[in-house]
């Protein structure tokens, strides 16, 4: 049976506390949200060492909060019901020590059920694992192709270091330190016809998130955008064909544009929720300024789609390896049903 540190009641509470309504214009006054931020994605800075052509969270600012401010925001989220935090960027390992301290804080002090990171993998070191892996549940590596020429076209290539080599090394580190290993892939015009199945089966991720490339105004399309994703977009049929080709891996978790756009609670570098309902990323007020509930009311979050896309899953490492020095009560594991 799948066991995780989160109960079915959490899903019910999210849905029950989030009545369907038209999203309020971000930044306007209005009632606080009663939704629970069960799973939050914190993009704590925007800088990156890659230039993926489809990137929808580009380097539009150089802001990075102090560690003290970040911890305060994370504590507020935990007090509001957050159970899982995912750290992303930009490339989070550009600030590896800062990242590590947040990871340790969320597990050792806040006692979150799941702490995860999404990274391109190019800057991860064995030393970082030795220092912080005890506090990490999941490491997801963005890998869109195992063909070096394709990665160069996408903008994800590392000169002199094949992508497969990077991913294999991180998979080995995850196995050594008992961190759940995950792969994220964005399907675009450059890799839509690729067959990655054999490589995925060899790498054995516990979960493979496969996204349809998404256009967002102001990020990768339209006036002021740092990318132009137009030539990389694919049809729904192309996405379906990619999924069918890889079904035999048994670990695919697909996300179409419809499933992806409003089903994530995305927190930006200012700790503002990003509302994507209008096809762009419109920021809420910061949780540091107005609190979690007031900011969450601006988020445009679709909790029903969050559950539909299996946003709650087996997201904790085994209890005996993740709770050393922590309160066991925070890690009571129960069977999860979708």
Cα separations in angstroms, 299 against 29, 166, 169: 13, 35, 37
Q: Would residue 48 show up in a list of annotated catalytic residues for this protein?
A: yes
Burial profile 82-96: b = 16 or more Cβ within 10 angstroms, e = fewer = bbbbbbbbbbbbbbb
109 by Cβ neighbours in 10 Å (0-12 / 13-18 / 19+) ranks as middle
Q: Would residue 174 show up in a list of annotated catalytic residues for this protein?
A: no
| Catalytic choice (52, 106, 143, 188) | 52
Q: Give the integer Cα–Cα distance in Å for 338 and 336.
A: 7
Residue 151's contacts (CB-CB under 8 Å, 6 or more residues apart) are: 144, 145, 157, 163
| Mutual angle of helices 67-79 and 96-104, in 10-degree steps | 30
- Do strands 114-119 and 252-255 pair parallel, antiparallel, or not at all (unpaired)? unpaired
| Catalytic choice (55, 106, 174, 188) | 55
SS3 state at 128: helix
Question: Could you tell me the two tokens for 75?
Answer: 């504590």
DSSP 274-325: EE-TTSB-EEEEEHHHH-HHHHHTTS---HHHHHHTT-SSS-S--HHHH-TT
Q: Quick check: 213 and 187 in contact, CB under 8 A?
A: yes
Largest CA distance in the chain: 54
Q: Would residue 106 show up in a list of annotated catalytic residues for this protein?
A: no
Active site residues: 48, 52, 55
């Amino acid at each position: 049976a799948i066991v995780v540190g989160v109960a079915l009641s959490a899903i019910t509470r999210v849905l029950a506390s989030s009545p369907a309504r038209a999203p309020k214009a971000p930044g306007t006054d209005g009632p606080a949200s009663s939704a629970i931020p069960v799973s939050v994605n914190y993009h704590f800075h925007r800088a990156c060492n890659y230039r993926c052509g489809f990137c929808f969270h580009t380097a539009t600012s150089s802001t990075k909060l102090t560690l003290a401010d970040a911890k305060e925001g994370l504590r507020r989220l935990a007090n509001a019901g957050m159970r899982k935090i995912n750290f992303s960027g930009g490339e989070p390992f550009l600030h590896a020590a800062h990242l590590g301290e947040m990871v340790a804080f969320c597990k050792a002090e806040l006692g979150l059920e799941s702490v995860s990171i999404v990274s391109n993998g190019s800057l991860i070191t064995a030393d970082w694992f030795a220092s912080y892996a005890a506090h990490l549940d999941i490491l997801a590596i963005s890998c869109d192709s195992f063909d070096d020429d394709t990665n160069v076209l996408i903008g994800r290539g590392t000169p002199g270091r094949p992508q497969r080599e990077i991913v294999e090394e991180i998979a080995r580190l995850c196995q050594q330190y008992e961190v759940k290993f995950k792969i994220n892939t964005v399907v675009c015009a450059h890799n839509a016809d690729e067959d990655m199945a054999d490589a995925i089966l060899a790498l054995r991720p516990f979960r493979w998130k496969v996204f349809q490339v998404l256009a967002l105004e102001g990020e990768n399309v339209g006036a002021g955008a740092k990318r132009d994703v137009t030539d990389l977009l694919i049809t729904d049929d192309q996405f379906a064909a990619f999924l069918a080709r890889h079904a035999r891996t048994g670990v695919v978790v697909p996300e179409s544009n419809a499933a992806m756009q409003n089903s994530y609670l995305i927190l930006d570098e200012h700790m503002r929720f990003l509302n994507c309902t209008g096809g762009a990323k419109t920021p809420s007020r910061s949780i540091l300024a107005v609190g979690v509930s007031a900011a969450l009311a601006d988020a445009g979050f679709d909790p029903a789609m969050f559950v539909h896309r299996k946003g709650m899953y087996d997201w904790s490492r085994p209890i005996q390896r993740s709770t050393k020095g922590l309160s066991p009560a925070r890690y009571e594991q129960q069977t999860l049903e979708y």
